[in-house]
Amino acid sequence: MSKSNVVILLLLRTLLVGAAGLALFSTAHAQGRIGVTQATQNKPMGQPPGGVDRVLRVGTDVQANEIISTAADDRAHLVFLDGTTLTVGPSSQLTIDKFVYDPTTQKGELAVNATKGVFRLIGGRISKTSAITVTTPAATMGIRGGMAAFSVATGGATITVSLFGVITVTAGGVTQTMTVPGLQVSTSTGGTPAAPTIVTQGSLSAALGALVGNSTATAATLTAIQTLVASNLGNPVTLQALIQAIIVANTATPITTTTTTTTLAVITVVENPNQTQASPN
Amino acid sequence: MKKLGTYLLLATVLVGCQTVLVGCQSADPVQKASPELQRQYNAAFQEMLKDPGNLDAVMAYAKVATKTGDYEGAVGAYESLLLVDSNLPRVRLELGILYYRLKSYETSRIYLESALASPALPADIRKPAELLLAKMPKQSKSQRT
């Protein structure tokens, strides 16, 4: 094979690889779907780029560059295509700045900009090889192979709590690194991140509490429960049926189920709530 | 029989902890899993993505993620259920165990205590949960980075 043929072949290969890369990237943009809304409370809002505000329901796709916002009683739980999950607490706002993921290599990039509120991010495949970036008015966080909860005050001051993995907080040229769960780093706007301190049970509990549903059921939930109980008079209502009813009451998409037994990791819930057993795992 | 259940649960947790320690050496436990387990994991995840309102799919993914050693994935799935209803002591118990496996003891303690605070938590799993809580290491300054 002549030198010129080798050069041509190399050029062609480069072009093909480049085209494949572009196709992958543009596909993600063309489809727009980078994740899905897995659970919601009340009416969290999403504004896709160039689109209008829409209420995020269970099953609503999430797009790159989408702005997610919640009011005082709203919450949203998003799952991305790489398995990363992001819980958005009440009175919060963030923009999904970047999401690139190649399912073949299981590598990619995720960047989020949080302007206010409380959040929990649990890293998926992307975070196993590169840190997920969260930017706030006060700091830039890196979440690698792990989980973090963070709150952003109205002025931008940020508190980052390490739940697992390697969490970095950078501001003003200073970086603090947390490799042990249960630590927190505070950063004031315009300042540098303070040294990690042990998070108090009270503040951790408050942060986690803001990221779960209200214990007071919504009107829709109450109605669903009442209907379920009324239609099962004389029969025990299973945990699964109860959760199904609650989800149905709070979602616009149909719920499907294929079995009548709900299995947790260590507990098996059977139709009769009095019959419980430890599962083998 | 209750003792057997207690030992099973504790053994499950301790084995899980070993997996975490091993997992610390590998970046992604899913890639270390057997091809069949990986297939199950990927199928369960895709099913959950396709139909996120399907409780069975969320539960199935949480379970296979736990089995695979992807405790973060399992935590994410269970946390989504608490967004729907925070009064699910069994889910809180699962989260308590998963955070324990991840050595995230303070978070584990919060979930275990809240699970135990619920009268709806069955007696046969209450005792092992109490034992796990009693074994919980307290975070010390020596753990700080």
In tens, the pLDDT along A227-275 reads 554 555 445 444 445 445 544 444 444 333 333 233 333 433 222 333 2
The partner residue sitting opposite B94, judged by closest CB among A181, A253, A265, is A265
* Residues B64, B41 contacting (CB under 8 angstroms): yes
CA proximity to A153, closest of A114, A200, A121:
A114
Residue A200 structural domain: 36-249
Tell me the pLDDT band of A106, cut-offs 50, 70 and 90: very high
| A200 occurs within a structural domain | yes
Question: A52 and A7: one domain?
Answer: no
| Residue A222 structure tokens | 């109450």
CB < 8 Å from A in window 2-31 of B: 4-5, 8-9, 12, 27-28, 30-31
Look at A213 and B84 and tell me if their CB atoms are within 8 Å. Answer: yes
Give the mean model confidence (pLDDT) for residues B53-59.
92
**Which residues of A are less than 8 Å from B106 in CB distance?**
181-182, 199, 201, 204
**Helix orientation angle between B105-116 and A201-209, rounded to the nearest 10 degrees:** 70
Spatial CB neighbours of A79, under 8 Å, sequence gap ≥ 6: A35, A36, A38, A85, B48, B49, B52, B76, B80
Percent of chain A with pLDDT over 70: 65
Give tens-digit pLDDT for A192-233: 999 999 998 888 888 889 999 874 444 444 445 445 545 554
pLDDT at A206: 87
Greater pLDDT, A57 or A14: A57
Question: A190 and A69: one domain?
Answer: yes
Question: A15 and A98: one domain?
Answer: no
| A16 occurs within a structural domain | yes
Question: A21 and A121: one domain?
Answer: no
As for the ipTM of the complex, it is 0.82
| A46 occurs within a structural domain | yes
- The identity of residue A222, as a single letter, is L
Question: A167 and A119: one domain?
Answer: yes
| A201 occurs within a structural domain | yes
Look at A212 and B86 and tell me if their CB atoms are within 8 Å. Answer: yes
| A281 occurs within a structural domain | no
Query: Is any Cβ of chain B less than 8 angstroms from the Cβ of A275?
Result: no
Q: What is the 3-state secondary structure (H, E, C) of chain A?
A: CCHHHHHHHHHHHHHHHHHHHHHHHHHHHHHCEEEEEEEEECCCEEECCCCCCEECCCCCEEECCCEEECCCCCEEEEEECCCCEEEECCCCEEEEEEEEEECCCCEEEEEEEEEEEEEEEECCHHHHHCCEEEECCCCEEEEEEEEEEEEECCCCCEEEEEEEEEEEEEECCEEEEECCCCEEEEECCCCCCCCCEECCHHHHHHHHHCCCCCCCCCHHHHHHHHHHHHHCCCCCCCHHHHHHHHHHHCCCCCCCCCCCCEECCCEEECCCCCCEEECCC
Question: A2 and A42: one domain?
Answer: no
Look at A247 and B53 and tell me if their CB atoms are within 8 Å. Answer: yes
pLDDT at A219: 44
* Residues B56, A259 contacting (CB under 8 angstroms): yes
How far CA A23 is from CA of A30, A66, A272, B26, in Å, comes to: 10, 22, 52, 31
Question: A18 and A48: one domain?
Answer: no
- The identity of residue A219, as a single letter, is A
Q: How many alpha carbons fall within 13 Å on the CB side of residue B126?
A: 9
Give tens-digit pLDDT for B63-111: 999 999 999 999 999 999 999 888 899 999 999 999 999 999 999 999 9
Greater pLDDT, A179 or B13: A179
Q: How many alpha carbons fall within 13 Å on the CB side of residue A87?
A: 28
pLDDT at A159: 96
Distance (Å, rounded) from C-alpha B135 to C-alpha B112? Answer: 12
Question: A7 and A20: one domain?
Answer: yes
Tell me the nearest-neighbour CA distance from B61 into chain A, angstroms: 10
The partner residue sitting opposite A58, judged by closest CB among B52, B90, B103, is B52
Look at B76 and A39 and tell me if their CB atoms are within 8 Å. Answer: no
Give the mean model confidence (pLDDT) for residues B114-134.
92
Look at B55 and A145 and tell me if their CB atoms are within 8 Å. Answer: no
| A273 occurs within a structural domain | no
Look at A198 and B139 and tell me if their CB atoms are within 8 Å. Answer: yes
Query: Is any Cβ of chain A less than 8 angstroms from the Cβ of B32?
Result: no
Distance (Å, rounded) from C-alpha A115 to C-alpha B143? Answer: 31
CB < 8 Å from B in window 101-140 of A: 106, 120, 122-125, 128-129
Is the pLDDT assigned to residue A167 strictly greater than 50?
yes
Q: What are phi and psi of B111, to 5 degrees?
A: -70, -40
Dihedral sign, Cα of residue A118, residue A122, residue A126, residue A131: positive
Question: A142 and A12: one domain?
Answer: no
Question: A14 and A68: one domain?
Answer: no
Residue of A nearest to B24 (CA): A165
Total domains, chain A:
2
pLDDT at A255: 38
| A279 occurs within a structural domain | no
Domain CATH number, residue A237: 2.60.120.1440
Residue with tokens 């990237």: A25
pLDDT at A28: 41
> 3-class SS at B102?
coil
Question: A152 and A69: one domain?
Answer: yes
| A115 occurs within a structural domain | yes
A38: left (phi over 0), alpha (psi -120 to 50) or beta: alpha
Q: Which value, in Å, is the radius of gyration of the alpha carbons in chain A?
A: 23
Question: A53 and A123: one domain?
Answer: yes
- The identity of residue A281, as a single letter, is N
Give tens-digit pLDDT for B128-144: 899 999 999 876 544 44
